[in-house]
Chains A and B, each alone.
Chain A
């Protein structure tokens, strides 16, 4: 009962963000960058500006809507990269074993030892700010859990009858991995990916907040907070709403991920909530 409610709430929040990202062009009453109006800066929420205006008189509501584009793009694309890397490495390591397995395992341990935000920060320092850099930085630094799960699932699948049968039938290794193993590990990989989207959104916000992510004036929830932080005394709404947007988005994907996990693994229902 409660689980279904959580899942529904997660789905609702996620759909809301997607709607905001896709529809920001039509929904936003003002242009997020060009409609700066210094005469009307730091205005509290009103009928004209639902969520108030920021330090340069830009409409916070419009900027939050457009910020969804950045967050969602970063979240989905970087997590897709992570899932692909993690699955490819994990499945091949579990399937082939031997030195390749050792190498992948070692690499996974190294990746776990460097906090992903620190790693992403280092990569951003090299690549410079901007959306493509963010996608690369966050896409390359958070695949270790996917890899671990993919590897252990592959190991247990490898010994099972149907994989052995496919081997005996003379299927090639790539073919077996694609047709026999991949479909069976998609569930857990999807769960980690869903939870990872939330993590990527948080990381993007943090990097942009630090000034190495999305560069102003292009709106991102993270860099909106950088600006708003200076105005916290006079215009707290400029801080509250972008943060609330991050929170709602991440919460949505986290609830979605939890729900998916419980659906895929009913035994864990009571234990892992």
Chain B
């Protein structure tokens, strides 16, 4: 194929020494690609909340917290910029966002970031612990099930998996709480202590069951796929023992197949966690979102949604980077 100009020629295979700056460029480019998505999310959220019937101020009045006269109301409206037209408010918000300013909470009058920031680490900790549990249990289960397809173990595991996908996690959490905290008294039933492992066990298991089930299914499907691949037959023809075959040729290829699910799950776990966080009184982003929705603290709701989306996008970018590192077929450009 004659190269018409320099650009159409396929790039030479990257050698290890030039791969690193390429990877950095890849990460930067993927980060920039997140911006339009994030902007669209902000726009959608902003529009949704600007059509709220009954503003925050009127909900305050309805609660009878403050006996407000017209003067106070006007003052509040001005303070929060609610007297300006929508496009101006949107522009102000985006401008603030560009400076990492998420606005000011209606309720506490603090910058929204100050409200969110202390919630961030507990949420991440819960999501990662749940995912760790899910991966540690789900992946080996799926692997073992696939090695003997159709066996009793396989059937049982897959039945367990579909059950795990069907069980409402907060109900499971409630049952776990009942059995392990209230009946057996082994673990605390709710709450959060910064260094406590005991507090995180029950919410993490309740949250991790659904991703665990999904991972078990994906892993099983992946292993079956890979085990049927031609290169595994080649490896057998080479005289590899089964354990060596799995280690050297199957595991990595399965990982490539499982990685997408893994990433999507970690990414959406912060959003999925809202009910579990509420149930276990876990001071994370999710319970903050629910509370802010209840009190109509719109700036905080917007801020938490943005944080949740950002987490999803960042995790997915990391997954793409991991792909590029594991799979040589993916071009890093």
Contacts and interface: CB of A to CB of B under 8 A. Distances in A.
Contact present between A and B (CB < 8 A): yes
Contacts of A236: 178
B155 interface: yes
A114 B168 contact: no
B168 A106 contact: no
Contact of B305 (A107, A114, A205): A114
Contacts of B271: 114-115, 117-118
Contacts of A107: 40
Contacts of A202: 166, 168
A273 B157 CA distance: 11
A202 B168 CA distance: 6
B37 A113 contact: yes
Contact of A250 (B40, B44, B48, B166): B166
A49 interface: no
Given A115-B272, A246-B168, A250-B166, A239 B174 contact: yes
Interface string B30-57: 0000001100110011001101110000
A215 B290 CA distance: 16
Interface string B61-72: 000000000000
Interface in B280-298: 289-290, 293-294, 296
A113 B178 CA distance: 34
Contacts of B52: 125-126
Contacts of B221: 271-273
A225 B149 CA distance: 38
Given A114-B305, A115-B272, A126-B49, A121 B290 contact: yes
Contacts of A239: 171, 174-175, 178
A110 B40 CA distance: 7
Most chain B CB neighbours (cut-off 10 Å) among A110, A211, A225, A233: A110
Contacts of B48: 122-123, 126
A210 B36 contact: no
A17 interface: no
Nearest to B145: A273
A212 interface: yes
A242 B171 CA distance: 9
B136 interface: no
A225 B163 CA distance: 19
A164 B72 CA distance: 67
A243 B174 CA distance: 10
Interface string B242-274: 000000000000000000000000001011101
Nearest to B223: A271
A110 B182 contact: no
B135 interface: no
Nearest to B218: A272
A224 to B, nearest CB: 10
Contacts of A271: 221, 224-225
A243 B166 contact: no
A121 B217 CA distance: 29
B279 interface: yes
A121 B271 CA distance: 10
B272 A258 contact: no
A152 B178 CA distance: 46
Interface string A190-203: 00000000100010
B291 to A, nearest CB: 10
Contacts of A273: 158, 217, 220-221
A159 interface: no
Given A113-B313, A122-B49, A247-B168, 9 more contacts: A110-B40, A110-B41, A113-B312, A206-B168, A225-B174, A242-B171, A247-B166, A250-B165, A254-B166
Interface of A: 2, 6, 106-107, 109-110, 113-115, 117-118, 121-126, 198, 202, 205-206, 209-212, 225, 229, 232-233, 236, 239-240, 242-243, 246-247, 250-251, 254-255, 258, 270-273
